[in-house]
Structure 1
Amino acid sequence: MNGTRIILASQSPRRKQLLEWAEIPFEVMVQSTPETYPPDMPVPEVPVHIAREKAIAVRQKYESLHTAANIIIAADTVVVLGNTIIGKPKDREDALDILARLAGNKHQVITGVVLLKGQQEIAFADTTDVWFHPLTPEQIAFYVDKYQPYDKAGAYAIQEWIGVVGIKSIQGDFYNVMGLPVSRVVTALTNLII
């Protein structure tokens, strides 16, 4: 992309895979940041806030990235049931409980994305509605025990078994549920590079 260096500020194998599928050349650089946010922040702003913190932390760690020739991409995904953010499960019991609450219901997956290039910033959130079929306790336990979804917001990954058998429908970007609305990211990259 015209000699621009693209940095993915995420360890997520799914985000890495999606950028590879889009045939975008990039490097991965990460800096650990607390995934915290102000308690009164509106829910749709939370993943953008966390993504911005990730991008800034990487830029500060790697001072050479703070030039107009580099673009840092950071993202954060949250699962929202009602108006409650459901994070990553703490343990097996928490994962079982989360999936029991999602089963038979509609929830939202919101991914916040921040791109930094010099002093420029593009930030947005993409929302996908997801409806689960009712799931039996046995199905939920099978998924949790086999797939160990402890690093995933909402305790599931749409591209795994539970997505194949448990999801009734989605409205919005499938890849957003995987962790990155990649078509919007490509558009944003194009706008920054032109």
Structure 2
Amino acid sequence: MLKLSLPVILASKSPRRHELLNLMGLDFSVELKDVDESFPAELSPAEIAVYIAEKKASAFEGNPNAIVITADTIVAINGEILGKPSDHAEARSMLNKLSGSTHEVFTGVSINHKGKLSSFYDRTEVFCRKINHDEIEHYINNFQPFDKAGSYGIQDWFGLTVVEKIVGSYTNVMGLPTEKLYQYLLKIS
């Protein structure tokens, strides 16, 4: 069992990240700060995820009496980054790209502990079956994937019916690689 000496702050509004920390048995509070999530164009998907997670963690520099956890998840396919869709048309376009293909999910995590940042990322390959227009429209209309990188959630209808297999961490695809996070937290407990 993990016993931390400082309170934990999760700097994320993601209900999936909240659920995962609860399942890990961590007591935490949620605190949000506005952060510019732009990044240099030359970064790889893994570097982008870590870069944005570190920007989010750096916003908490003046809080040495807590362990602040931030994360950012990136979906990449053939070198293209698929962020959160801004509307129905963009979600449809992303899901069409994922249909019948393999993509990668990168989650960068940064832990701000006593003013020091520790960061890492995880990578998972996701294999999707071919889906048709009606399935895409059903998914968008019923699951509103506008707050999810790549326009889908591994834990909902898409993950249950479209994802054929993953290689790597399931929780990474949900938005927080809990296996690696737990090991990092053990080091500072």
TM-score normalised according to structure 1 size: 0.93
How far 1:192 moved relative to its partner?
1.4
Identity across aligned pairs (percent)?
36
Match in the other structure for 1:188: 184
In 2, the alpha carbon distance for the partners of 1:8 and 1:111 equals 15
How far 1:3 moved relative to its partner?
3.4
Task: Pick from 105, 110, 117 the counterpart of residue 113 of structure 2.
Answer: 117
CA RMSD of aligned residues (A): 1.1
In 1, the alpha carbon distance for the partners of 2:4 and 2:32 equals 24
Match in the other structure for 1:22: 24
Query: Residues 59-106 of structure 1, C-alpha deviation per residue, up to 9 Å, x if partnerless?
Result: 15xx3x2x2x42110000000001111111111011011101100000
Which consecutive unaligned segments of at least 5 residues does structure 1 have?
Answer: none
SS at match of 2:145: coil
SS at match of 1:151: coil
Amino acid of the residue matched to residue 26 of structure 1? F
Question: Is 1:55 matched with 2:51?
Answer: no
Match in the other structure for 1:137: 133
Task: Pick from 151, 160, 163 the counterpart of residue 159 of structure 2.
Answer: 163
How far 1:46 moved relative to its partner?
0.2
How far 1:43 moved relative to its partner?
2.3
Question: Is 1:11 matched with 2:13?
Answer: yes
Match in the other structure for 2:149: 153
How far 1:122 moved relative to its partner?
1.5
Aligned length: 187
SS at match of 1:128: strand
In 2, the alpha carbon distance for the partners of 1:71 and 1:3 equals 9
Match in the other structure for 2:171: 175
How far 1:36 moved relative to its partner?
0.7
Match in the other structure for 1:41: 43
SS at match of 1:191: helix
Change in 2 beyond 3 A, CA 1:121/1:105: same
SS at match of 1:54: helix
Which structure has greater helix proportion? 1
Amino acid of the residue matched to residue 166 of structure 1? V
Which consecutive unaligned segments of at least 5 residues does structure 2 have?
Answer: none
Match in the other structure for 2:34: 32
TM-score normalised according to structure 2 size: 0.96
